Amino acid sequence: GAGVSQSPSNKVTEKGKDVELRCDPISGHTALYWYRQRLGQGLEFLIYFQGNSAPDKSGLPSDRFSAERTGESVSTLTIQRTQQEDSAVYLCASSLASDTQYFGPGTRLTVL
Amino acid sequence: GNSVTQMEGPVTLSEEAFLTINCTYTATGYPSLFWYVQYPGEGLQLLLKATKADDKGSNKGFEATYRKETTSFHLEKGSVQVSDSAVYFCALTPSSGTYKYIFGTGTRLKVLA
């Protein structure tokens, strides 16, 4: 596609529910990244994919967070048993190898 | 470790005013430096970048020079427009494992007509 797309754009959920956030990277981009942006804070790195493998998961804040990528394309970030502190904007980016990262518009997650 | 510090906002300017947003960094080796911009309701967009000392990145009238001696990458524009109102993020990638961006907290700019 023309750019990185993410869905849903907004998600409101109740504490304790699971959520799935989707990212469609730019076609042909081998690298994919997830970041979290809490209100008033900078972006926090969560996880990096090269192809379908994730050599760096160091930013995932807890074992409630997981991500997968299939077909060297779509990626899904899953948050289990959501907590209020998970409320944030989740951003996805993609790139060719280690080149400039291109960001999607983000998914705003609100946990009530 | 690696970190980026940028001036807190919001910054409010009148149209045609001069803009400076300060950014300093801490990094080992020779990082690449970036400015990203986030317009309301949109995703982050790369504004400019510099990959080595003394390089100047420029785009859309914005400039930033990679100063290794002061570990800085300040963003400047000579004459801002209302359309420049956005949040600006300074970021770096370390010299190795360049995929992991380290971002500053962002500076909100509001330009008044």
CA–CA separation, B54 and A78 (whole Å):
42
- Contact state of A42 with B49 under an 8 Å Cβ cutoff: no
Read off the tokens for A31. 């690298």
Q: With left for phi above 0 and alpha for psi between -120 and 50, is residue B95 left, alpha or beta?
A: alpha
- Tokens of residue B105, six digits: 């907290």
DSSP letter, residue B91: E
Yes or no, beta carbons of A103 and B36 under 8 Å apart:
yes
| Rg of chain A, C-alpha, whole Å | 13
Determine whether the interchain pair A103/B105 forms a contact, defined as Cβ–Cβ distance below 8 Å: no
**Residue A1 scores a pLDDT above 80:** no
Q: How far is A60 from chain B (nearest CA, A)?
A: 13
pLDDT of residue A96: 84
What per-residue confidence (pLDDT) applies to B1?
A: 82
Q: Which residues of A touch B102 (CB under 8 A)?
A: 45
Q: What is the pLDDT of residue B29?
A: 79
- Amino acid A111: pLDDT: 97
Option in B45, B89, B97 nearest A42 (CB): B89
| Residue A53 neighbours by CB distance under 10 Å | 9
Nearest alpha-carbon partner for A21 in A93, A112, A106, A103: A106
Residue from B99, B101, B107 whose CB has the most chain A CBs within 10 Å, to mutate? B99
Q: Is A100 on the interface with B (CB under 8 A)?
A: yes
Per-residue model confidence as pLDDT tens digits over A20-69 = 999 999 999 999 999 999 887 778 999 999 899 988 888 999 999 999 99
The b/e string for B22-36 (b: 16+ C-beta within 10 A; e otherwise) is bbbbebeeebbbbbb
Residue at A78: amino acid letter: T
Count of CB contacts below 8 A, A vs B? 50
How would you class A38 by CB atoms within 10 Å of its CB: exposed for 0-12, middle for 13-18, buried for 19 or more?
middle
**Cβ-contact A90, A79 below 8 angstroms:** no
Rg (CA), chain B: 13
* Coil, helix or strand at residue A27: coil
Residue percentage of chain B with pLDDT more than 70: 96
pLDDT higher than threshold 90 for residue A100? no
Amino acid making up residue B48: L
Residue A98: predicted pLDDT = 62
Amino acid A56: pLDDT:
85
Give B45→chain A minimum CA distance, Å: 7
pLDDT of residue A2: 78
- Nearest CB partner across the interface for B43, out of A33, A98, A103: A103
Residue B40's pLDDT band, with cuts at 50, 70 and 90, is: confident
Residue of A nearest to B46 (CA): A102
d(CA B95, CA B58): 21
A49: nearest CA in chain B?
A: B99
